[in-house]
Amino acid sequence: MANLVSNFVGIRSPNPFWLASAPPTDKEYNVVRAFRAGWGGVVWKTLGEDPPVVNVSSRYGAFSYNGTRVAGFNNIELITDRPLDINLQEIKSVKRQFPDRAVVVSLMVPCEEESWKRILAQVEDTGADGIELNFGCPHGMSERGMGSAVGQVPEYVEMVTRWCKQHSRMPVIVKLTPNITNILGPARAAKRGGADAVSLINTIQSIMSVDLDVMAPTPVVDGKGTHGGYCGPAVKPIAMRMVADIARDPECQGMAISGIGGISNWRDAAEFISLGASTVQVCTAAMHHGFRIVEEMADGLSNWMDGKGFGDVKAFTGMAIPNYVHWEDLNLNYKIVAKIDQDTCIKCGLCHIACEDTSHQSIAALRIDGGRRYEVIEEECVGCNLCMHVCPVEDCITMERLDDGSSYMTWKEHSNNPMRREAAE
């Protein structure tokens, strides 16, 4: 059976599934329940200085699509609103009860060295395994000069990371904000500051919806609303791209990654790990389905690894990165076309409509023996995949390769490229 044990920058846990910094993770009772359910670790909800922050009552919004509840999730919640000392006592208690689980403490204090030095010493006394610097919160705290206000300035990221490495023996994980043009700026800054790892992504600035009766963004707080942080399954593609960019960046080599963003099942986790993450953090899925979702995640990942012959998580960590290339490195001679399985086709015509109206008019709508039939016009098909994605029947439309794979030409060599490299070079 595959070994799921994780050793993330010296932080050991029985599996790579960590419950992310969420409302349940600033109370001992909930963290204990999470560990009993099978979570390998937790990131304790972000601590700050006293007096604690004040959270509003109406704080969550959700985006549901086509019958899928909570496809996206939005929150305007801040960091823990419980006193620092109570959190520290409970962290110490939890770590004593579960010495084999990862307990990482998320921190956010003003951008002053003494503030960081003071809280680092307090957290270290709890026996926690590591700290996560919350440089990602996009609302409420950023207006106070913390959270993403730090994460968007690489110089600040490097400076605070260096303070934490100087004043603590604990591994330092830097949580990055996605609300930035290029994720590599703060990631490289974290590396220069001595970070042991980065975690990403934090939530994305967003307005979930507008209440058209009140004429205010949701969630509505007494007739008004504000922007919040977007997360959940809908952000997964954005998160994976940013994780992969860091994993393949030469300047970030040697810095571990904890993947965050829309992870809801074992397959999501496997995809993040294949793109370079060593652990994965889960929040929205646990809030939606409960702590026991980790059972399916761990069992599913283990079974998949067994089927692929991977003995441990490290065996496939980053395996997809060599195949994650820039567009200019793709093979322009690669040629695929759509094929429709007439036996499973339900004649709905969605493939034809999509192709006819918005693509390359390469699916013919025919009438044969009084019935409808849809056929691909191969000479017109560019292999865009659109028909395959809109088809409601799984595997009814597949893509078949036409070229023999013997010729590889990228944009760098293509004759249409005015800056092409000559073959002789």
Q: Known catalytic residues?
A: 137
Strands, E, within 261-350: which ranges? Answer: 279-282, 336-340
What CA–CA distance (Å, rounded) separates 272 from 303?
17
Sign of the torsion formed by the C-alpha atoms of 329, 331, 337 and 341: negative
311, 49 in Cβ contact below 8 A? no
Q: What counts of helices (H) and strands (E) characterise the chain?
A: 12, 20
DSSP 315: G
- 187: DSSP letter: H
Question: How many other C-beta atoms can be found within 10 angstroms of the C-beta atom of residue 249?
Answer: 16
- Cα dist. 79→54, 136, 207, 294, 414 in Å? 9, 12, 19, 24, 52
What's the rounded Cα separation, in Å, for the pair 205 and 412? Answer: 37
Beta strands in 86-163 (DSSP E): 102-107, 130-134
Alpha-carbon distance values, 70 to 20, 208, 284 (Å): 17, 11, 9
Identify the helix (H) or strand (E) that includes residue 12: strand 11-13
